[in-house]
Structure 1
Amino acid sequence: MTIERFYPIGTPGQPWGHTEREQWRAQTRIQRDYQQQVVSKINALTDRFDVEQYGALSYDPEHYPLLCIKTKHWDETKPIVLITGGVHGYETSGVHGALLFLETKAQRYETHFNFVVAPCVSPWGYEIINRWNPLALDPNRSFYANSPAEESRHLMALVASIQAPILAHFDLHETTDSDEQEFRPALAARDGINFEPGTIPDGFYTVGDSEKPVADFQTAIINAVRQVTHIAPADDNQQIIGSDVVQEGVINYPMKMLGLCGGITDCQYGTTTEVYPDSPKVTNDECNRAQVAAITGGLDYILDHQ
């Protein structure tokens, strides 16, 4: 069923122009500090990792440097693991889960892997607690040539600068109640279409690449995460967020075709994690630890199958 719902910006049925996008940006406000909450944690890792700036957002280059963390003692003989968080800046555990992995677990795996970690791809979105960038663009639908989203362009340039194949990519995300309450209605208004309500799954799930799903790898991640938080069940249509469930807690998307961050490499093992932070069953700490469990579960699987 299609439900007509008026979003307070724009005219129903008409895509936004420049004026509407400016109106949308004008009603956003800073709610937390990227420098204090993220950059300070990154800088605290410099004794154990190399920290590099791979760009800066033009909105405020000094306040929004784009930082990545790399294995300090890089070994060309080891495979590379890419970890990305905060592509949607409001998805908090993606950012802090990536940092928690570096703080608590990475050393255990550095014998086997080189790591490249971009923990907060969209720092403006982190501060505003929003899915979009200031141009009302979704960075996670913008990973393609000549991308209009500078967050996406900078990350693609970072990946292109890595002079070796990437074996695995963990892209850390959340699915939140605000997706249904704010972000999907805003998207419908922006694009001039009717909003069709959906349901938010209660629990963790992953999104694999439909072109190379690597089912057993996803299974290992799900089994590791279930030790920390609950796994999202399928709905009555045996789907999660409108996609068929291919195994417990797993759906697949065509990553490259959709311009998703999960498609920016040709890695053998790739997953997009989706934590559900709005469940009454979990805490913020458990959400962060679920992201860490997803990474370690996937890495343990790779070590067992290389």
Structure 2
Amino acid sequence: MTEPATLPIGTPGQPWGAAELAEWRARQVRRRSYADDVLGVVRRLASRFDVIPYGELAYAGEQFPLLALRAGAWRPGLPGVLVTGGVHGYETSGVHGALRFLEQHADAFSGRVNWLVAPCVSPWAYERIHRWNHDAMDPNRSFRFPSPAQESAALMRLVAPWRGQFAAHIDLHETTDTDETEFRPALAARDGKPFEPGSIPDGFYLVDDTENPQPEFQQAIIEAVARVTHIAPADVKGEIIGCPAVAPGVIRYPLKAWGLCAGITGARYTTTTEVYPDSPRATPEQCIAAQVAAVGAAIGFVLEQA
């Protein structure tokens, strides 16, 4: 792994102000198209599923429509399942895994669950291949009321009418080498704190909820994904990314306390997937397939419990 680079914005030890934020924004370059990669797929799917507009981001003259999909009206008595991708825009397989699930697998669950899919929560960041939004905020630390992030606030408004009716929420993420070489150093610089090096696990893992652990649900997903790609081992301390491994490939975070996306529905079964796309043992196709396998296993588990 490359050595972390010091972000040359601001003064070490001092949090960013308006000038530093403006300098950071000026460095962000559009590198791919949300309209082509995401909205184009959604348009193709509109003949099969209901497309639900749930807001629009407006950043410096750019507009990004936010869209979710579902299979018809919400049916009382069926379990609800929320699938979210692209909360961190740079985590590519989460976005394309959600879209792949819609294209190839969602029909199999129609009429059995009330599924709702938001494939790209952070389109500005998707285009710039970045973790943060336009305001240098992490949407996945902003799922709280009131939310400082437009992306998080919009998704919470979308989910609100069905809150308490979801059985499961699967939030699709990646852990990448750039977490260590770019994004964590940037976070330290933004907040005026020293950068503390960490490590990146080689393989897929899940984040369960500290306040509502569901080990059997997590295990069902791990078993399905292990048929597609390798599971991250714990390190010599018995940890994955600095947290104790509570089972092979599983750690726990306090979802609501940390403002994480997977805590927004009140669902019993929640998980955050973490694919490792930089592994020499995994291809981009395997990463997308791992996300799809996770979604399918999660819904299958919910149906078995119904």
Fold shared by both chains (TM-score > 0.5): yes
Correspondence for 1:160 = 160
Corresponding residue SS for 1:51: strand
Deviations 1:203-244 (A, max 9, x none): 000001111110000000000000000000001111111111
Q: What are structure 1's unaligned runs of at least 5 residues?
A: none
Aligned residues, how many? 304
Structure 1 Cα separation of the partners of residues 61 and 299 of structure 2: 34
Letter in 2 for 1:193: K
Matching of residues 209-248 of structure 1 within 5 Å: 209-248=209-248
Deviations 1:162-220 (A, max 9, x none): 37611110000000000001000000000111101111000000001111110000000
Correspondence for 1:171 = 171
Correspondence for 2:302 = 302
Corresponding residue SS for 1:213: coil
Correspondence for 2:85 = 85
| 1:111, distance to aligned residue in structure 2 (A) | 3.0
Correspondence for 1:71 = 71
| 1:75, distance to aligned residue in structure 2 (A) | 2.2
Question: Percent identity, aligned pairs only?
Answer: 57
Letter in 1 for 2:216: D
Deviations 1:39-70 (A, max 9, x none): 00011111110001100001168741000001
| 1:77, distance to aligned residue in structure 2 (A) | 2.5
Matching of residues 15-164 of structure 1 within 5 Å: 15-59=15-59, 63-72=63-72, 74-162=74-162
Correspondence for 1:196 = 196
Corresponding residue SS for 1:38: helix
Deviations 1:4-29 (A, max 9, x none): 97321011110111111111111010
Structure 1 Cα separation of the partners of residues 100 and 272 of structure 2: 17
Tell me the TM-score normalized by structure 2: 0.96
| 1:110, distance to aligned residue in structure 2 (A) | 1.6
Q: 1:102 to 1:60 in 2, by over 3 A?
A: farther
Q: What are structure 2's unaligned runs of at least 5 residues?
A: none
Letter in 2 for 1:293: A
| 1:299, distance to aligned residue in structure 2 (A) | 1.6
Q: Is the 8 A contact 1:35 1:63 kept in 2?
A: no
Letter in 2 for 1:16: W
Structure 2 Cα separation of the partners of residues 270 and 199 of structure 1: 25
Correspondence for 1:274 = 274
Structure 2 Cα separation of the partners of residues 256 and 264 of structure 1: 7
Structure 1 Cα separation of the partners of residues 285 and 262 of structure 2: 25
Corresponding residue SS for 1:252: strand
Deviations 1:107-164 (A, max 9, x none): 1112310111100000000000000001100000001111111000000100113376
Structure 2 Cα separation of the partners of residues 179 and 272 of structure 1: 16
Q: Is the 8 A contact 1:5 1:194 kept in 2?
A: no
Q: Is the 8 A contact 2:233 2:249 kept in 1?
A: yes
Q: What RMSD, in angstroms, separates the aligned Cα atoms of the two structures?
A: 1.6
Q: 1:304 to 1:84 in 2, by over 3 A?
A: same
Structure 2 Cα separation of the partners of residues 293 and 82 of structure 1: 15
| 1:302, distance to aligned residue in structure 2 (A) | 1.8
Corresponding residue SS for 1:115: strand
Deviations 1:72-97 (A, max 9, x none): 25422211110000000000010010
Q: Is the 8 A contact 2:4 2:185 kept in 1?
A: no
Tell me the TM-score normalized by structure 1: 0.96
Q: 1:195 to 1:72 in 2, by over 3 A?
A: same
Q: Is the 8 A contact 2:49 2:71 kept in 1?
A: yes
Q: 1:60 to 1:160 in 2, by over 3 A?
A: farther
Q: Is the 8 A contact 1:56 1:62 kept in 2?
A: no
